[in-house]
Amino acid sequence: MLWLKRWNFIERARLERELWDAFEAGDDIEAMVEQLRASLAGASAATPSVGDDGFRLEVWETTRVRIRRIEKLMRDQAPAAPPPSDEQR
């Protein structure tokens, strides 16, 4: 069933949202990804959750890159000038 999850955009979006929520809460998303990677490295292949966590890691890694790219774009963007107030018109 893991192959089905890979093509299920709702499942993928749910996993992406987990990382976005952590980012918005100020959590260290790199540490979360590394912690998941470490737990997978220490788990045996017979563990039932390894497939699900492997998929989660795949989604989180791509989402982490996307979050950092968007964060950089937003940081590099010049702040927009505020609209003129009524007094200045």
Residues 6+ apart with CB under 8 A from 60: 15, 18, 19, 29, 32, 33, 36
Query: What is the number of domains present in the chain?
Result: 1
pTM, two decimals, is 0.72
Asked whether residue 46 is domain-assigned, the answer is yes
CA distance 55 to 86: 54
Domain that holds residue 61: 2-68
How far is C-alpha 83 from the chain's CA centre?
A: 34
Asked whether residue 44 is domain-assigned, the answer is yes
Q: What is the pLDDT of residues 59-88, one digit of tens each?
A: 999 999 999 999 999 888 866 667 777 765
Mean pLDDT, the chain, whole residue set: 83
Q: What is the pLDDT of residues 40-49, one digit of tens each?
A: 887 766 565 6
Assess whether pLDDT exceeds 60 at residue 2: no
Asked whether residue 78 is domain-assigned, the answer is no
Is pLDDT larger for residue 29 or for residue 3? 29
Six token digits for residue 5 = 């999850």
